[in-house]
């Protein structure tokens, strides 16, 4: 009995292959629809996966003893608050004076157009206090200088750049002593950082905060980084900083995060991004599913007499149903595998394009995503192929044999 069932499954698979081969153009167009849908899902979801991986990599490299202070009070979440107050020098002093804090630095982030040999690129600058910057970035070990040096207290119109910025931002690689024009001011490259393999630091430009801030932004910070002595007490230290911030401003204007908390919050956002992008791409797959249903109905009409013969010689409704569902699943498998390959290629191309624009960003295609792509493809194919297959299974032998 088992051998008979296996033999029938083998025969059903052969018939599904034959049916697809006999209708090459129609089957190819149906598969193409699935390929487009799966490829779009893989490529778009890989953006969210890449963002999530980059965030985890960057925050993980800071270690378990890093605390961040940024706008985000009032229930708005990280960076989502409508708070009008900015982090000020007093806030930095409060963080530095908190028991258990080893070092803290205020960072002012700003994007500005940069000109080098008649090329203009918009790059992001991390403005830091020159008195604290070297201790925080190099002495503690976040980054290390490969060429040149770090800027000294009181030094202005100088920058230390990441490895990727040096090598890829302009047609000509940047090196120590090169001059850049930033907002009409000449700025000298005095240091190039060692390659870390982490986009956050390889694409960084560190500058004296006075060069980055305007008169209205003086002594204000975008974010404060703090390092604690004992990672085991980081939650208690973060709570102490949060209390100081709340007491100083009379309300929860700023939010204090540990690296772990920030990873979880940003991870939730990037997961939602992946879901939304995947849902948008999934619309194409639904359209492809409708194409599968149409192909299956046409196949049934063309094979009505064949179905009648199968049922006349003993094929049951279940046998006929299995044959047509096998055909739908086979189309889904082919489309899913090809879609995975095309989607991976698109994802890689997207990463290259983004990097060519100076964005150190990489997409990420995981084995789980590829497997899900094939399963989703097969699931949609079988779902949309079920009604046509059911119609074929319910055909009466006599009526099917009379069909012209």
pLDDT more than 90, % of the chain: 8
SS3 364: coil
Residue range 229-248, pLDDT digits in tens: 888 888 899 999 999 988 88
DSSP code for 150: P
Q: Which of 361, 363, 384 is nearest to 297 (CA)?
A: 384
C-beta pairs of 399-403 under 8 Å, 24+ apart in sequence? 399/308, 400/304, 400/305, 400/307, 400/308, 400/311, 401/305, 401/308, 401/309, 401/312, 402/308, 403/304, 403/305, 403/308
Instruction: Report the residue count for the chain.
Output: 404
- Would the pLDDT of 58 be above 70? no
> pLDDT: is 277 or 391 the higher one?
391
> pLDDT: is 223 or 262 the higher one?
223
- Would the pLDDT of 198 be above 70? no
pLDDT value, residue 159 = 92
- Would the pLDDT of 50 be above 80? no
Strand partners, 111: 124
pLDDT value, residue 187 = 93
- As a whole number, mean pLDDT of residues 322-340 equals 86
Q: pLDDT category, 341, cuts 50, 70, 90?
A: very high
CA distance 93 to 383: 62
- As a whole number, mean pLDDT of residues 318-327 equals 80
pLDDT value, residue 66 = 81
- Would the pLDDT of 175 be above 80? yes
pLDDT value, residue 75 = 38
- As a whole number, mean pLDDT of residues 159-177 equals 89
pLDDT value, residue 358 = 52
- As a whole number, mean pLDDT of residues 148-158 equals 86
Q: pLDDT category, 321, cuts 50, 70, 90?
A: confident
- As a whole number, mean pLDDT of residues 168-195 equals 90
> pLDDT: is 63 or 13 the higher one?
13
pLDDT value, residue 38 = 87
Output the pTM of the full model: 0.58
pLDDT value, residue 357 = 59
């Amino acid at each position: 009995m088992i051998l008979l069932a296996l033999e029938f499954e083998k025969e059903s698979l052969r018939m599904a292959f034959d049916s697809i081969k006999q209708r090459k153009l129609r089957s190819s167009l149906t598969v193409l629809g699935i390929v487009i849908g799966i490829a779009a899902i893989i490529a778009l979801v890989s953006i969210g996966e890449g963002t999530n991986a980059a965030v985890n990599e960057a925050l993980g490299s800071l270690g378990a003893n890093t605390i961040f202070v940024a706008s985000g009070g009032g229930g708005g979440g990280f960076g989502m608050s409508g708070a009008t107050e900015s982090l000020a020098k007093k806030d930095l002093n409060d963080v530095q004076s908190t028991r258990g804090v080893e070092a803290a630095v205020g960072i002012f982030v700003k994007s500005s157009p940069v000109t080098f040999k008649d090329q203009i690129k918009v790059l992001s600058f991390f403005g830091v206090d020159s008195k604290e910057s070297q201790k925080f970035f190099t002495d503690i070990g976040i980054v290390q200088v490969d060429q040149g040096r770090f800027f000294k207290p009181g030094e202005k119109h100088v920058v230390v750049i990441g490895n990727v910025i040096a090598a890829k931002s302009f047609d000509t690689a940047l090196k120590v002593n090169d001059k850049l024009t930033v907002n009409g001011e000449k700025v000298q490259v005095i240091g190039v950082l060692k390659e870390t393999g982490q986009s956050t630091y390889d694409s960084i430009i560190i500058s004296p905060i006075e060069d980055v801030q305007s008169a209205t932004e003086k002594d204000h910070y975008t974010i404060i980084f703090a390092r604690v002595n004992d990672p085991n007490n980081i939650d208690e230290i973060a709570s102490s900083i949060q209390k100081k911030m709340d007491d100083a401003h009379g309300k929860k204007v700023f939010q204090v995060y540990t690296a772990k908390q920030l990873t979880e919050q940003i991870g939730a956002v990037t997961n939602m991004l992946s879901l939304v992008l995947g849902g948008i791409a999934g619309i194409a797959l639904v359209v492809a599913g409708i194409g599968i249903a149409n192909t299956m109905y046409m196949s049934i009409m063309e094979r009505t007499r064949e179905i009648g013969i199968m049922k006349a010689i003993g094929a049951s409704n279940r046998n006929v149903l299995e044959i047509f569902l096998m055909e739908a699943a086979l189309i889904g498998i082919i489309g899913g595998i090809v879609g995975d390959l095309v989607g991976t290629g698109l994802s890689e191309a997207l990463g290259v394009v983004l990097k060519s624009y100076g964005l150190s960003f990489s997409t990420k295609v995981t084995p789980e995503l590829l497997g899900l792509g094939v399963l989703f493809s097969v699931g949609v194919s079988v779902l949309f192929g079920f009604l046509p297959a059911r119609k074929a299974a319910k055909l009466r032998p006599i009526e099917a044999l009379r069909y012209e």
